[in-house]
Chains A and B, each alone.
Chain A
Amino acid sequence: MRLVVPLQGVVQGRGGLIFGSLIPCALFYFLQLYLKRHRSPRNPPSPSASLQNLAEMNRTSSRSNLLSRGSIGPARISSLATSISKPNDSPYYIGLDKVSEDPYDRFGNPDGVIQLGLSENRLCFDLIEKWMLENLTDSIRGRDGDDLSISGIASYQPLDGTMELKMAMAGFMSHVIGGAVSFEPSQMVLTAGATPAIETLCFCLADHGNAFLVPTPYYPGFDRDMKWRTGVELIPVHCRSTDNFTLSISVLDQAFNQTRKRGTKIRGILLSNPANPVGNLLSREILCDLLDFAREKNIHIISDEIFAGSIYGNEEFVSIADVLDSEDFDKSRVHIVYGLSKDLSLPGFLVGVIYSLNDNVLVAARKLTRFSSISAPTQKLLVSMLSDARFIKEYMETNKKRIRNMRDLFVSGLEGLGIRCADSSAGLYCWANMSKLIPSYGEKGELELWDKLLNVAKINVTPGSACHCIEPGWFRCCFTTLDEEDIPLVMERIRKATDSRAS
């Protein structure tokens, strides 16, 4: 109202109408601007930073799109780089980051975050250490009589791995599956870890925009390793707790058809056997059915068997190589991925394997290994270790026992809290059903529990949604990075956090 009086004076003067309309508009505009800046955020109060990271993701992505679009500012980076540089958005990675910031240590940092989110095996490290002490100096530079001076390992090696290491690996892999299959070294390509092995295979089998069918729940890392640079899509094939997350061919077929209908070409199926995160095994029958399916649709099968040496149950592990051997299936469409980071507790040494009977794939994969070859001193060391049959036998037997022991303790600890786990025979983790403990039955409720466990109970577990599990409330808990003494503490922390259900 008070505005009108001075305006009258203006209006009655020259240019009155213009000023008469301009000034209120301008004032209105500034009023809106003021209100916008000082308006309190309409979001519900976020309980913690981790959840907020997830919520922030949508906002930051649109902001960075703006930055990468124009040529304002410094030389731009690629669209791929822009998306990779965003803050971690998966609970899997957020949890790992939290642990590195504040890692639990029984003596040094007893209130730190306990790591149950990394499937690494530390139970038999003492055996590896012992072997190193007894054998090391010889293994790098060789025993007398061998031509193993530094020039032997310094110069260019075959980029897909030395024949000595391939032979040692072939022997080891065969041992791991109980001698059921004999692996041919010339059908192997070695890479600096299983991560590049999977990516390399993907580059060989699929074009940008093609897809792979992947049974869920699956290892969260696949979303990076298989998709980032290859431009490939992963189509989830949902498995359910009603049959202990067993893969069903009819669900697979449905997913295949649905994907094809929308114009996306499926190049293959990505299996994890033993499965991660559930820890169950694919039976011989299902493997045969899968091979039939692959032949019918003319697609590939990648079988990630990296946990093959971590079998602790009584069920027999059947490698897809075994099925190929014994039945008359088309061998050219199957490719196995393996590595030493799980079974031999040497993740830092980075040894991965692509095993394929398709020579065209091998030829292409071999050329691609120039981007991810294993370091020569490490190859040398591992040839020594893997060829020590006595050591390997003792190691694998002890390893199984200790994993079994730890699993039994951990699972019964969870059962004491009313938390049951899926049936599993392998892997370094258990798949726990915490659906009764989540505040609301859905992904939101699951993530709230995850957040509470991470930030209040301070244990890092991986929520099922990060693994694309269709049923909410499941969590993967890795127990092979623990000591037995820590288990009661873990259970205590979970109990405390879930008893006091304040929110």
Chain B
Amino acid sequence: MAIEIEKPSVGLSKVAVSDTHGEDSPYFAGWKAYDENPYNESSNPSGVIQMGLAENQVSFDLLEKYLEEHSEASSWGKGAPGFRENALFQDYHGLKSFRQAMANFMGQIRGGRAKFDPDRIVLTAGATAANELLTFILADPGDALLVPTPYYPGFDRDLRWRTGVKIVPIHCDSSNNFQVTPEAMETAYQCAESMNLKVRGILITNPSNPLGATIQRSVLEQILDFAVNKNIHLVSDEIYSGSTFSSSEFISIAEILENRSYRDSERVHIVYSLSKDLGLPGFRVGTIYSYNDKVVCTARRMSSFTLISSQTQHLLACMLSNKEFSENYIKTNRERLTKRYDMIIKGLKNAGIECLKGNAGLFCWMNLSPLLEEPTRESELELWKTILNEVRLNISPGSSCHCSGPGWFRVCFANISEQTLEIALERIHKFMEQRRRN
């Protein structure tokens, strides 16, 4: 596949010319449309409203307030005594204080139902890097990972591009609210075998992106049992764990392991990040939490390609170890996200649109299949284009998430203001009314 550009200009690698980065898919095409004509309340009220970006902007004020009141977080204290050490610190173990703060924060998010050991935390520059790193460690080029559909479009790139690893989808559908079943897992495994691919692990996202729902306890148990049975790894991407609407509904794989007294835990690895829960994607903070010593050791060494600046580690260590701040943040963030979710569900219902029942995340999974001309992917993309160009909303079509049934769309609600959300709902309402009339 790799081609040398015609001589005499010098050639690039296969990785460089491949399109596995996926940036040509509709998921990203919508972003381009938004960039060219972005909505702005005052200057461009008819522009495209961005509802395809899973970013959390509802709780910035809490972060601002903390930083205002705690200047030592961003300035190393009066006289900057810790600065020297911090600026020279490039140990890939990461600041102990930061790892401790992360471990505590992760425990808090799970309502204290699981405890995390700071020495098992490996720091990376974002969850994107964490997922790729784990893939490099758990699978050889040409091996496969099983991933339930629908899944985050970025996985096609993050798990496959440089690693050479393949994704074999575990098909889930609306008949049971897209839950993973043992049969679906077995089918995917057999499918991989029939293609002569060695399955090395299963990667789940819990709470799920794009479904916006947590995985039930019984299903988690089944997934873990499956991994044990096939002697493969289990990666649980829990990046939205702090964005559940109610603390008790989210069950982390860490809790399942604790209940089993950590039997079979050396095959389990958790990915986390502050990009969604804390709304700090620009800070580039991700972690791998592994119960496997060798994976921890290897991931740490490999993390030298994706380290977090010590300045950021220091700032976040201060912030997250402030119990008052973290408890208040988790609670308030949850409340605000719930409010947004209720608002969008109600608005969509009034427009005659149903969504999957969700309880987490920064988005809802909307069912527009009744609107499709035909139950096909092409029809879904036609509808997506219409919504992008006529309604001027950028939402993500289910096909870009590899959803087996056409007509589902992911709609983000936390990256825009409440007013903008109202406008978006109004536009959808008008659109649905017009369609009913025709």
Contacts and interface: CB of A to CB of B under 8 A. Distances in A.
A375 interface: yes
B79 A133 contact: yes
Interface in A413-441: none
Residue of B23, B91, B285, B310 ringed by the most chain A CB atoms within 10 A: B310
B311 A78 contact: no
B309 interface: yes
Nearest to B15: A203
A391 interface: no
Nearest to B311: A378
Contacts of B14: 207
Interface string A202-229: 0111111010000000000000110011
A136 B294 contact: no
A62 interface: no
Nearest to B306: A372
Interface in A353-395: 358, 360-361, 364, 367-368, 370-378, 381
Contacts of A208: 141
Given A78-B137, A140-B74, A332 B9 contact: yes
Nearest to B280: A154
A208 B76 CA distance: 44
Contacts of B292: 74, 77
A367 B281 contact: no
B143 to A, nearest CB: 8
A375 B312 contact: yes
Interface in A304-322: none
B311 A348 contact: yes
Contact of B90 (A150, A229, A348): A348
A84 B133 CA distance: 13
Contacts of B83: 129, 132
A125 interface: yes
A396 B423 CA distance: 54
B64 interface: yes
Contacts of B80: 129, 132-133, 136
Given A74-B267, A192-B284, A203-B13, A79 B140 contact: yes
A298 to B, nearest CB: 6
A61 to B, nearest CB: 15
A120 B85 CA distance: 13
A85 interface: yes
Nearest to A348: B310
A225 B267 CA distance: 27
B301 interface: yes
Contacts of B297: 85
Contacts of B246: none
Given A207-B2, A373-B126, A78 B306 contact: no
B55 A155 contact: yes
Contact of A192 (B71, B306, B315): B306
Interface in B263-297: 266-267, 279-285, 292, 294-295, 297
Contact of B284 (A128, A193, A195, A373): A373
A456 interface: no
Interface residues of A, number: 78
A348 B128 contact: no
Given A74-B267, A149-B64, A155-B55, A345 B309 contact: no
B282 A347 contact: no
Contact of A374 (B23, B284, B304): B284
Contacts of B219: none
Nearest to B9: A332
B29 interface: no
Contacts of B162: 203, 229, 368, 371
Contacts of A77: 137-138, 292, 294-295, 298
A133 B57 CA distance: 31
A102 B91 CA distance: 15
Nearest to B20: A367
Given A75-B233, A360-B5, A377-B283, A349 B84 contact: no
A349 B84 CA distance: 12
A81 B298 contact: yes
Interface string A117-137: 000101001001100110011
B89 A348 contact: yes
Contacts of A377: 74, 283, 309, 311-312, 315
B190 to A, nearest CB: 18
A154 B283 contact: yes
Interface in A62-109: 71, 74-81, 84-85, 100
Residue of B74, B200, B279, B285 ringed by the most chain A CB atoms within 10 A: B74
B306 A154 contact: no
Given A349-B311, A367-B21, A141 B67 contact: yes
A350 interface: yes
A461 B87 CA distance: 23
A238 to B, nearest CB: 25
Interface class of chain A by DSSP: helix
Contact of A150 (B7, B64, B227): B64
B426 interface: no
A371 B304 CA distance: 11
A157 interface: yes
B192 interface: no
Contacts of A167: none
A374 B309 contact: yes
A126 to B, nearest CB: 9
Contacts of B141: 208
Contacts of A378: 309, 311-312
Contacts of A155: 55, 57, 279, 281-282
Contacts of A497: none
A195 B303 CA distance: 11
A234 interface: no
A354 to B, nearest CB: 13
A476 interface: no
B60 A151 contact: yes
Contacts of A482: none
Contact of A228 (B138, B143, B266, B302): B302
A125 B84 contact: yes
B196 interface: no
A300 interface: yes
A246 interface: no
A454 B55 CA distance: 51
A151 B74 contact: no
Contacts of A464: none
Contacts of B89: 348
B13 A207 contact: yes
Contacts of B295: 77, 81
B231 A75 contact: yes
Given A140-B75, A154-B63, A367-B23, 4 more contacts: A136-B74, A150-B60, A330-B10, A371-B126
Interface of B: 2, 5, 7-17, 21, 23, 53, 55, 57, 60, 63-64, 67, 71, 74-76, 79-80, 83-84, 86-91, 125-126, 128-129, 132, 136-141, 143, 158, 162, 200-201, 227, 231-233, 266-267, 279-285, 292, 294-295, 297-298, 301-302, 304-312, 315
Interface of A: 71, 74-81, 84-85, 100, 120, 122, 125, 128-129, 132-133, 136-137, 140-141, 149-151, 153-157, 192-193, 195-196, 199, 203-208, 210, 224-225, 228-229, 267, 295, 298-300, 330, 332-333, 341, 345-350, 358, 360-361, 364, 367-368, 370-378, 381
8 contacts: A85-B301, A137-B75, A151-B64, A155-B57, A157-B282, A204-B13, A347-B87, A373-B125
